[in-house]
Amino acid sequence: MKREALTVAVLMGGASGERSVSLKSGAAIAAALRGLGMRVLEFDLPTPDVSEVARSEADIAFIAIHGGFGEDGRLQRALEEAGMPYTGSGPYASALAMDKLQAKVAFAACDVPTPAYRAARADAPPGVILSLADALGFPVVIKPRSEGSSLGVTFHKSANSLIDGLNAALKFGRVALMERAIIGRELTVGILGGTPLPIVEIRPRRGMFDYDAKYSDASTEYIVNPELPKAVADRVQETALKAHRALECGYLSRVDVMLDAGGSPFVLEVNTVPGMTERSLLPKAAAAAGIPFAELCRFIVDAAAARANFVSMRRHRRSAAS
């Protein structure tokens, strides 16, 4: 599959709370690929129905749909069933990373450090919710089980606001995740081609890196290669890569990490379709590693093409052997 001859379908939009961010990511990717001389087709998908994409002249689908079906494996499965190569992780890893409770189980199985947690269900009495928080110890964070961009995430120093926070998370599903809050530095590590990119530290002036801090608050600071002892920085990157592998992700992800006061990292989550806007963290880290945005997009397309060729060759060998 020659790169120069590729036609790339950029899939964006979706129907989740991250739709607006996805449209920005998709537009940036499409512009970068056109600048590289590739032919680009843009698709705003409201559902994981990829029939129109499959009927197009596209050789590869570049997934830029954040949250919802774009990251939970449904879109990836539909593309595989349609025989369309695509970027990023496969259905299994996508579903596992999107489900924060299942990801916690996978982290535990692979000795990936992650904050202590409990599942909080919609039908649980207030007394049970309080007992869960007491068992973890305040402060706690409550977040939706399967949502991104910090949508529905709240921080609680005491029980006073606990039920309101739970209700905010339950707007996105019947089960929420309650997690012991790690007080320290908020970091993220991009994984590209199985290699950790430079660490990015996030310093929100709002006190919490919520949706507004990510996408509209200009005062949020992003420090690439923050001051950290080398041993700590190495541990953060190694832990991020371990989390990426624990969920069996492909060649691309972004791992969010909290670093406590003692210098110990705790993985919060793995993003299999990282943001690709001008404010996004993966492009910032790639640029610090000497990979401009357009080259980052080229790498992602090339990796998808290489995987498609590998799968095709493997199927051909199996067919010949039979």
Active-site positions read 18, 149, 215, 254, 256, 269, 271, 275
Determine the angle formed by the axes of helices 126-136 and 162-170, rounding to 10 degrees: 100
- Nearest residue to 280 (alpha-carbon basis) of 265, 297, 263: 297
Please state the separation of Cα 98 from the chain's center in Å: 8
Longest dimension (CA), the chain: 66
Calculate the CA dihedral of residues 137, 163, 257, 289 and round it to 10 degrees: -160
β-strand pairing of 7-13 with 60-63 = parallel
The Cα–Cα gap between 191 and 194 comes to 6
